[in-house]
Each structure stands twice: as C-alpha cells, then as structure tokens.
Structure 1
Amino acid sequence: MTGQNTVYLNDADACVDQVIARVGKDITLGLPLGLGKPIRFANALYQRAKEDPEIRLHIVTALSLLAPKGSSSLERRFMEPFVKRLYGSVPELVYARDVVNNQLPDNVKVSEFFFKAGSYLKIPGQQRNYICTNYTHAVRDLMAQGVNVVGQLMAPGALHGQPGKMSFSCNPDLSLDILPLLRQREADGTPVAMVAEQNPQLPWFGRHSVVEDNEFDVILSAPATDYPLFSAPQMAVSPADHMIGFYASSLLKDGGTLQVGIGSLGVALVHSAIVRHKHNEVWQSVYQQARVDERFPVVRDYGGTEPFDIGLYGCSEMMVDGFLYLLQEGILKREVFEHEGLQRLINEGKVSEQPSLETLDVLRTEGLIDSPLRNRDLQWLIDHGIFRNSVELKGGRLRLDAGVSVDANLDDPETRDRLQATGLGEKLTGGVVMHGGFYVGPEKFYQELRNLPEQQREKICMTSVNFINHLYDHAYGDQKTKMAQRLHGRFINTTMMYTLNGAAVSDGLADGRVVSGVGGQYNFVAMAHELPGARSIIALRASRTSGGEAVSNIVFSYPHCTIPRHLRDIVITEYGIADLRGKSDEDVFLGLIRIADSRFQDSLLKKAKKAGKVRSDFELPKDWTNNTPQQVRETLAAAGDEDWFPALPFGRDFTDEELRLGKALKSLKASTATPRGKLSTLWQALRVNDDGRYRAMIERMGLSNPGSFREKLDRKLVIHGLQQLESPTQKGSVKS
C-alpha cells in the first residue's frame, strides 16, 4: 500500500495538521541520521508539542547536527563569526538545541542510537534514552519503539528530468527499509504518516535511491523557505594522523575494496592513497624511511606499494568526501556489477570491460547465455553493454545496424563477423564504483556532488545500510554477489582506546556513559573475518592529552569494549602496524606494546609480565623504543622539502587568522587543564607585552576595545597564546 492520496503542501504547520489528523497526538517520529532530517517539518512538529501538552512526542533518530557554540568566553568569541559564516542560513534543529540545554518539555523525549562524539556526556537524560544497536539492527529497533511517523529530507525529481519522483539522496541507509515496514504496520491497522520535505540543494542520486512521490503521504515543498545543507568543516590532520593514514594506505591492495569513516584519520588515509597513486616516488621514500616492508610483513601479504592501476571500489556506510577525491584522482574506478556470475568472471580475468567475441564464448561456457540467443539473453547482453542497444531479435535472427540480419546462432561465422563489426558494445555498462548509505561533509563536497557529470553520478549507488554492512540475503543483493564484489576488503575504522588483549573501546567510557555509538563498526569488523582476503583495520593515536597530562590510548585493560578481543585483527598507530589475527596472546600483547608511545611501553610491559601474558625475561628491542613525535616528523620529512603532508590537504573553511587563533586557543586550553597550569598561564598572560603584532587577530576576536576585566583578561590570554605558538615549549607530565 502507498500514499495514493499524497498531499502536497507549502507550509510546515499544515504538514503537522495532516500528521495529527492521520495518527493522533501520540507520535513516535523516526528521523534519519545526520543530514537527512527535514528541519522545517521537525521544528514545526516539535513546536506544536511544546505548545500542546496533550501531544506525546518521542523522537527516535541519530546524529542530530548542531553548529558549535564554544564552552568558554574565548571559544565563543572565536566560533561566533565562523558559525555565522557557515551556518547563518541553515535553520537550527530546535529539539536538538533544547536537548543540549536540558530544556525539553515533559511531553517530549529524544532517543538516539548514535551521538555526535562526546556531545551528550554531561546530559543524563540523553544517556538514559540512548538506544544501543548495530547500524544494521537500527530499523528493527526503531520499529520496536513504535514509530508511526517518518520524516525525510528528499531531492525533488522535477529538476532532474524525473517528475513525480524523489531521491533519498543523502539518507537511503535506513529509510529504504523502514518505509515498507511502516506500510505493513498501516495494513495491520495502525495509522502511520510518511512525510517528505523537498530541498533542491540535495544532490540527486538515482539507482536504489529513487522512489515515486506517492510513497509518501505528505510532501512539503516550499521553495521560499529552502535552506542550504548543514556542512561539516574540513578537519585538520596532524603529523601523527598522517603517519597513521600512510600506514593504512600501504595495506590497500590494487583491485580491492575500501570502507572508511569520518574524521582526520580517514582524511589522512585518502591523502596518502592519492600520494601513493600520483606521486609514487614520494610515497616510496616515506615507505623506505619507515622500513615498512621489513618491520611489518603483513603489508607484503595484504597490501601494496604501486599506483592503483585496477583501482578501488568503495563500499562504505558513510560516503565521506574522501571518496569523491579518490574518484576525481582516478583511484575509485573498479566497477562492480549486480550479477554474481558476471562479477566472478571479471574477478577471474575471463571477461574484460571491453566486450568481444571471446566474452560471448565465455558467457556461453559458464551458462550465462544460450545459443541460439533468446530474448532474455539479448536483453541481458544489452543491459550490461555487451550488445548495442540497437540490436533486436526477431524470428530467430539478430537485426543489427544498417538493416543487417544474421542468425542468432553464435557459432555461425557470419554472425560472429557481423557482431564483431556492428553488434558489440564499447564497454560493460551498469557498473558501480561506490555503494554508500549516507553522507555528510563540507559544502564544497555537496557542490561537487551536485556538479558531477552524469556518467560519474551513475556509478555511485546510495542504498540501504543492510546492503553495505551485511553479507546476508537482501533485496538489493545476495551473499554470493556481495562476496564477489568485495575483493580484498579493507574496512578501516577508528577507536578511542585499545586493550592489550585485543579489544577496541570505540563508543563508551568505563562508567557506562556513551561517547558516540556502535554504528556500523561491529558489522565491518565481523564482515572482515567472513570475507576471504579481507582485513579489519582499527586506527588510533597512540596517546592523548587529558587534564594536561599525556595518557596512553593503548591500555592494559578497560571495563568497556565495543569490539571484543576474539575479533582482533590489524591495529595501526602512528608508530606502526600490529597484525593480531590468529596470534597468541603473548604475540598480541607485544605487537601492541611495539606500536605504543614509548613513554608508556615500560609500564605496559610490566603489567603484561605481572599478568603472565609475556615471559618475564623479555626486553624491549631497541628499535621499538623510539616511538616519539620527533620520529614521526622525521619519517614524514623523508618525502622531501615540499609539504607533502599538510594539515588541510583538501581545502579549509577557516581563514589564515582563524587557523592561527584556533591553534593558540587549543594550546591555552591544554595549558589550563590543571589548577596549577591555569594559575601559571594566568600569571604569564597578565605580564604579556602587547606590541601590536596581533592587531588583526585581536580584532577578529572582538577584543580591540575591551571594557570589562573579563575582556581585558581574554585579550591578554589571546596574545599570550599567540606568543606561545612562536616559541612553543613542551608541557605536561606523563600519566601511565
């Protein structure tokens, strides 16, 4: 059943009236994660609930995006102009802001299965309402919450030659699966409402993403209130991030499959992959300096060092902007096909992308087509570009161009000659280089997606997360086809901490608070253990600063884990690669200690020995004990004088002044993390000499004419932070 009486409206409040008329005032609203939220409709419904206490509204979603505000006076001064520039025209998601401010009314509850990292650590209500689920189980668990209304931002088809249709564009991930389930719920007697909010700013994607308008009950189309898409700024990449990305790029196999997540480590991987492809001699110089081949033999067996001749295929729940850069640089180019038999023959090298008579012979031998050809054979050959669209089959004869007619028997010499001359297509068609479930990224990313040439756009298939994260049977692909497509899978994800026994801590803390969520990480790790030749790669920085002290991210143990130890595989820090799959506990413990920050190796080894996991006479080899930031910088410097590993390899949203100010504020925050550090920093700041060098940046912070004592102090703190950038000092003690 579909919304045969679809209502088109240009007012969000009128949409709310329609929804209440259909389902009543007890509403469980399912919203897509990230970008796909219909902000006008969601805000109108939430406002109605605030005004009418008889409405009971439960919003079930994930990743509610808000513009940053800043937690201190200096951070707010820094962020406000930037936020206005980037988000000034994007309406704010009001319920999400009220969640952050602890201002939800009693008749409204918000449950999420994935948080923006760290955003709700201090909000007990959201911690209580969090729903822990794998991404592939999210639809099941949303339905269990009693969802009866779904809202979705959609790309209208009229602008793309598809009147009467819409595209899920950024979020088919869960929506493709939940809509038919809701229609079934409706058929079983529960009223439901599907609401689409059209926004022409959304890039158009076809294939699995396209649906008829009448799949929805209510469509909000209000061009006068259209708004830009919420963007995520480009993330800065540190030398440590670049080194991690470099090691990860050495594990990519030409002709393989790539999954990668959001964040600076993903950016670093994409950048290093591009350097490997386009500037291989530069990449090789770093490879040799790091002695990767010698120190980490897993690269010889599973990775590669050459440019990407065959190319990669992307299969990632999140299509990060890095995949677009890989596409533009000619790396993301390995096409996969929805037919398992054809894909298998391509993998085996028996069929190439250029159709030939030999292609037909192989297809016959494998039983994919018959001879003489039948209508279904001909259609299959045309659909895959093996025959030209103009070829017809009538009366047992093939009709080719220029009125030529030949027997449909592929053994006939004349048929073969004529097909060779005028019947074969130029290359296989229908292939896909990228399967994605959702996307969110910088505005530059959205604009380039909107401007994609049609030929490239057709090679991207936005689809259900169950297709991407599962191998099991699904409406969009069976297990054998997926396995044939996902050759040499490299599933690269990040974590916060990693225990010596091989467990990843990615989503929560020891006290039970949730930092983000499981998302699809478990799915990809498990898939890597099921696919022949695939590897799960978990990346993390070896250490972090907490409370003004350096802390190891490789820990002896931790009360919480996201990925259990029996799924341990490959782990990467800026100090190397630990190959853990199938290894003994002692080898796992030592492999992780080897890539830990050298400040913590002795204490980790001591604990391992005490637990009996490492023999008591083991001594750290000398070449393990130089895991320092200086060693990372020296390794990257082997690339040469040019800045091959920049902080912002794919552009930036901040100005030069903002970048310097951001660094200064970050340094100030670190130096004031402890009471002693705060007193010391304040004392030094009060004594700074303002010689006018930073006038432009002081003006950018709105502190040119400070009035209050707070403003005068903030001005001095900014100057002190900028001065410290010019003569940095090492601060902070080490905490084991």
Structure 2
Amino acid sequence: MKTTPRPSYNPNWREEFAELVVTAEEAVKQIQPGQRVFIGTGCAQPQTLVHALAARSSSLADTEIVHLLTSGEAPYAEQELAAHFSVNSFFIAPNVRDIIQQGLGDYTPIFLSDIPRLFQSGQLPLDVALIQVTPPDDGGMCSLGVSVDIVKSAAANARLVIAEVNPRMPRTHGDSILHVYDLDYLVPVDAPIIEVPTPEVHPVVREIGEHVASLVEDGSTIEVGIGEIPQAVLQHLDRKKDLGIHTEMFTDAIIDLIEAGVINGSLKSLDRGKVVASFALGTRRLYDYIDNNPIFAFHPTEYVNDPFTIARQHKMVAINVALEADLTGQVCADSLGSRFYSGIGGQLDFNRGAARSLGGKAIIAMPSTARDGAVSRIVCHLSPGAGVVTTRGDVHYVVTEYGVAYLHGRNVQERALALVSIAHPNFREELLKQAIEARYVRAELADFSNRIVVGPKDIRTTFLLDDGTLITIRPIHPTDEHRVKDLFYTLSQDSIYTRFMSRMKWVPRKQVREFVYVDHRTEVSIVATIPEADGEDIIGIGGYYLDAHTNRAEVAFVVADRWQHRHIGSFLLKHLVTIARRHGIAGFTAEVLAENKPMQAVFNNSGLKVKSDLRQGVYSYEMEFE
C-alpha cells in the first residue's frame, strides 16, 4: 500500500530549464547520418521522438537503431526504410521481428546483465540516447519511471541524451534518478504511457502455472520473466506466504498479491521489504500503483540481473520460458530453428543466480506442443539452427502442462525419460524410439513406451509420524528407477521373502521397472519419501494392478526395514484405496504368507469388508470397498 502522497514536480520546470527545452523535431535534427541511436525500453519507449526520428529518415542514411524490448510502434523498422535505419536489437519484440527475420535487421544475442558493460567499455559506443522521464522535481531530479533496466547505462554513456518529459510517467523509487543537467535536450509531452494489458490465460498455460506454483515455497523470492506463463504462475500463488520479488520485470498481476499480503518481502535476505525490478509492463492501474510507492525499488540491469546479486537471495526461484528443449536438457529460448524470435534476455542471469541461491530453484516452463498441437516442443534433437540459451549443464526444472521434470545432476537416460514423461502423450512413443536410436536410453525400455508418464498431481499427500517426521506420498516417476532399486537393496532377506514370496538375494531390474513404469490407470505405484541432501529417499512403495474382468486390483506394498511398524504401510493402503475408488474399482485382492503377521494386521484392520482364505501357507485376501 502507498504510505506517502505523490510529491508534485516542479511546475515551473520549463521556465527554469528553458535553455534545454525543444520540440521533438528540433531535437532529432541533432542526429547525424551514420550514428548509433539508442531507444528506451518497453512501455517507456519515447514515441514522440521515435516518430520524429522516422520522419527524418531521408536525411539519416546508415543510422543504427539499438534497443532492448520495445512495446510501442517502430516506424524505423519498415522495409522501405532499411537503407536509412538498421535495427540492432538485444531482444526481438513483435514490432521488429519481421524486419530481423527478413535479414534486414540484426539481433545481438547477449546476457542482459552484460549489456551495460558494452556501453561503458566503448565496445558498443552510443552517439544518441532517446529516453523518457518524469518532469524534474524541485531538486532537478527526473525519474526514469517504468524502465530503468539498460536505459540508465545508455543515458550515462551516450554522447547526446534527448528525453521526452512526460508528467504521466510514474515517479519510481530506487536507483532510477537522473539529474536534469545529465540530459541535453528536454522535449515536453503529455501523452499516455504505452500499456500492455494482461493476456487472457489459456487453459494449458493455467495448468503449467499451477505446476510451477507448486514448486514455490513460502518465504521464497521469485523472478517472473516475460510471457504468459510467468504471469499465470502468479495467479496460483494466492495461498503462499511471505513471498518476495526480485525480478527483471513485472506486470499488473503483481498488485493483487501485494494487496493480499502474499508478497511482502519480509523474509528476503537482500532488499528486505522491497519489490525489486528493472522495468514494468502493464496498464494505467499498475503505473498509478507504483507511482511514488516506496515498496517498489527500480534498479539498473547491472544490479537486478547480476547473477551474484541474485544468488544472495535465499530461496530464489527463477521462472522463465522456452521455445524448445531436447532430451538431454538443452533449452532454446530465442529462435525457432534458424529464425530468431525473441532473445536471451535475463534467462541465464536468473537461472544461474537461482541455482547458486541457498534453497533456490531454476525453472524453465513451456507448453508441451506448438502449432495447435502439431509439433512437440520436447524433441530428441533441437531443430536445425536452434540456439542453446540454457545449457544442459545449467538446466534444473523443466515444466509443461503434464508435470515437472528435474534434470540437474541426472544422467542422460534419466533426463530423457523425465522429459518424455512430461511431453504430450501423442509424441511420447516416438520420442522414446528416437531416444533409443540416439543411445540416450537403453533399448529394453522400448517395451514401456506407453507407460512413461507422470502420475496425477492430486495423488500427492503427506503423512506425519509420531516423532514428527513428515513423509511425502507421491506417484512413482519414470526417473525413480535407481531410488526404487536402492530401496530394494536395503531390504532384509526376510522382507524380500515376505513381499515377493521368493528366496532371492536381490530384485531383478526387470521387476523393478514393472514398479516404476506404470500407466497410473490400470497400474498404479506410489512411493513414500523423506527429504535428503541429494533430493529424497524412497522408504516405501505400494501399488495395484487391475484385473479388468473382475474390476478388482491386486494390491501390494513394502516398507524399508528401519521404517517398519510405524503405520506407513497402513497409510499407503488407505491412500491406494482412495485412488482406486476414484477409478471406479470395486475392491482389492492380495496374497500374504501365513508367517507375515504384520501385513495381515494391516489388511484386517483396514476398515474394509475383508475375507481371507488360507491355502498351502498363503492367505488369499478379498477386500470390498463400501
């Protein structure tokens, strides 16, 4: 909430700084052919100056236009003006995409955090910067408003700075101030700030947002990148507590979470209590909200996007989007094949910063398909010409509407299986076939092509033991094979015998895979896990296999020896009953050795209608759901 009224700017600024005040047409006459001109970012793009510049095109041969993302009109990016203006963009917005894809403009791929260094070092010297600011206050200070990002560095390093001075620009706090005498020309305008409405969220994107939100813990600090998906995530954070914001940009979607107290920054380890960003894209509602609002701190890109600054935030969660990912974990985010589409932006800055953060998470999210479901975004090999933005060594979480794949520290087979499991079902079989052909996955897994899936998220639950240990119960995941194998290796010979009714020293790999690769409909496997330094350990596994002829499923489970007699088996059974009932299954059957008294007790005390019959040392159980 705002706590102070907006201070009035100096009403006499035009008179006091009359020597700097000119019209847009007069200002752009200072621009000479062959110069490099920077244009301000996003919704702070100085539209009056841009149009005045374009109107001088006949006098400005070989003029290079440099900018980041811009949200307004780009008349300099028309094909007929290509001989006069050459576009060089650090991030490709829709307003310049055509000219760049036609080969008449340029794209400079670079980490957003590195751009200010280009200006400062002279590697990319700027002749002119066209920006937009608020009117100066009584101290002569102007605010860069909704876009500080690389604009402040551009203004500090350009030989000539021309500023639109707009009273409708919100005055923002943080490191967003320029003194009026740092500006060479002032062009008074009174025009609406460009607005970017929050898009309607597609149902698929809503599913992705829900999956991503499930990874955000209370007390996290989050970054939401550009695009529909990060904004959809915010809609699913309304039940979280004490979230902080350290982000490249934000939109209107942040307001309701601040008003609800979800975002308060109270647990941030850096800039506590502040919403930190470098620019904002939104509507008048957002601009009025951030205007002179002290909870917002706008800083330049070299601070906001610095991976080492980001890493200082505990529980930093970076949420970014991709266009395509291959089965080894390489992520393309800036091109469609060889056609440049967007840009690197801050994805790597925040991905690497969050990965270094204590308790941090680096998340890449995307729909599973493109072109109305015609192509898979998860592919065996990236499209020819596609660029890698996030490397296979940097990737951590990948999320689609079908679930979450965690890749960091996983081998190539585990990565491939995890990504196949969250691909669209129409493409999973072919992806597995391609993975086998590429030697990413062992050939014997071809038999499980229709069972490499992520279980329903609503199966997940928790169970609190008497000593306070919290056990997580979740669906089996295709990457759990080694964890299930580890569980079976911990079992005593007695536990193996009572579970499998066979005297064997270990459980064969084929049998392990039958537990792991299930369709989650006729075959269900759930695991009980506890957190460990390297992720989690599986301490129990249960499941059932449906006999379609009887509509009853055979149920079985086992718990690691050191965790037995703590009611984990009873809870697994209870949860399996809940799952089976949802699928319309009539009951369970089970085979239990006569000497396996603990398992008999679990079934007999299940609360179900139980019948058992002892034959040749084995009890046959029938349990009816009522």
Aligned mate of 1:334, from 243, 265, 270 = 265
Distance 1:312 1:483, change over 3 A: same
3-state DSSP class of the match of 2:374?
strand
Aligned mate of 2:416, from 585, 589, 592 = 589
Letter in 1 for 2:20: Y
Whether 1:466 aligns to 2:302 is yes
| Structure 1 or 2: more strand by fraction | 2
Letter in 2 for 1:465: T
Whether 1:256 aligns to 2:220 is yes
Distance 1:483 1:596, change over 3 A: closer
Matches within 5 A, 1:292-441: 307-308=240-241, 311-335=242-266, 343=269, 431-441=272-282
**C-alpha contact (below 8 Å) 1:121/1:514 kept by paired residues:** no
Matches within 5 A, 1:553-632: 553-558=377-382, 559=384, 560=386, 561-618=388-445, 619-620=447-448, 624-625=452-453
1:33 CA displacement: 2.2
TM-score normalised by length of structure 1:
0.56
1:521 CA displacement: 0.8
Whether 1:42 aligns to 2:50 is yes
Question: Highest Rg: 1 or 2?
Answer: 2
- By relative contact order (CA 8 Å, sep 6+), the higher-ranking structure is 1
1:508 CA displacement: 0.8
Unaligned runs of 5+ in 2: 1-15, 460-626
Aligned mate of 1:139, from 116, 131, 134 = 116
2:335 corresponds to:
508
Distance 1:471 1:241 in 2: 28
Whether 1:204 aligns to 2:204 is no
1:139 CA displacement: 2.6
2:375 corresponds to:
551
Whether 1:535 aligns to 2:361 is yes
2:209 corresponds to:
245
Aligned mate of 1:65, from 66, 71, 84 = 71
Distance 1:575 1:118 in 2: 32
TM-score normalised by length of structure 2:
0.65
Distance 2:35 2:319 in 1: 38
Letter in 2 for 1:146: P
Distance 2:103 2:141 in 1: 37
**C-alpha contact (below 8 Å) 2:429/2:450 kept by paired residues:** no
Aligned mate of 1:233, from 194, 197, 203 = 197
Distance 1:178 1:209 in 2: 13
Whether 1:12 aligns to 2:24 is yes
Unaligned runs of 5+ in 1: 67-92, 183-191, 278-306, 338-342, 345-429, 473-478, 636-736
> Which string of whole-angstrom CA distances, capped at 9 and with x for unpartnered residues, describes residues 147-194 of structure 1?
111111112244xxx552110111111122233334xxxxxxxxx211
Distance 1:220 1:155 in 2: 11
**C-alpha contact (below 8 Å) 1:209/1:462 kept by paired residues:** yes
Distance 1:26 1:16, change over 3 A: same
3-state DSSP class of the match of 1:196?
strand
2:75 corresponds to:
97
Letter in 2 for 1:97: P
Distance 1:499 1:28 in 2: 38
1:622 CA displacement: 6.5
Distance 1:25 1:613, change over 3 A: closer
Distance 1:194 1:121, change over 3 A: closer
Aligned mate of 2:160, from 190, 193, 198 = 193
2:97 corresponds to:
120
1:500 CA displacement: 0.5
Letter in 2 for 1:439: A
| Structure 1 or 2: more helix by fraction | 1
Distance 1:550 1:26, change over 3 A: closer
3-state DSSP class of the match of 1:272?
coil
1:60 CA displacement: 0.8
Distance 2:353 2:104 in 1: 29
Distance 1:122 1:333, change over 3 A: same
1:449 CA displacement: 3.2
1:111 corresponds to:
88
Distance 1:556 1:471, change over 3 A: closer
1:319 CA displacement: 2.0
3-state DSSP class of the match of 2:399?
strand
1:526 corresponds to:
352
Distance 1:227 1:209 in 2: 21
3-state DSSP class of the match of 2:426?
helix
Percent identity over paired residues: 24
2:153 corresponds to:
177
Distance 2:143 2:441 in 1: 56
> Which string of whole-angstrom CA distances, capped at 9 and with x for unpartnered residues, describes residues 193-238 of structure 1?
111111121111123112221111111124xxx2112112321212
Distance 1:249 1:583, change over 3 A: same
3-state DSSP class of the match of 1:565?
coil
Letter in 1 for 2:277: G
Letter in 2 for 1:617: E
Distance 1:97 1:49 in 2: 10
Distance 1:127 1:586 in 2: 42
Letter in 2 for 1:468: V
3-state DSSP class of the match of 1:60?
strand
Whether 1:166 aligns to 2:142 is yes
1:98 CA displacement: 4.9
1:126 CA displacement: 5.2
Distance 1:14 1:336 in 2: 50
Distance 1:140 1:49, change over 3 A: farther
> Which string of whole-angstrom CA distances, capped at 9 and with x for unpartnered residues, describes residues 390-429 of structure 1?
xxxxxxxxxxxxxxxxxxxxxxxxxxxxxxxxxxxxxxxx
Letter in 1 for 2:340: V
1:471 CA displacement: 3.7
Matches within 5 A, 1:631-642: none
Distance 1:592 1:431 in 2: 37
Whether 1:273 aligns to 2:237 is yes
3-state DSSP class of the match of 2:69?
coil
3-state DSSP class of the match of 2:36?
strand
1:442 corresponds to:
283
Consecutive aligned runs of 4 or more in structure 1 exceeding 6 Å deviation: none
**C-alpha contact (below 8 Å) 1:120/1:126 kept by paired residues:** no
Distance 1:12 1:130 in 2: 28
> Which string of whole-angstrom CA distances, capped at 9 and with x for unpartnered residues, describes residues 31-55 of structure 1?
12212222212222332232x25x5
Distance 1:201 1:106, change over 3 A: same
Matches within 5 A, 1:586-735: 586-618=413-445, 619-620=447-448, 624-625=452-453
Count of matched residue positions in the alignment of Structure 1 and Structure 2: 438
Letter in 1 for 2:448: L
3-state DSSP class of the match of 2:408?
coil
3-state DSSP class of the match of 1:207?
coil
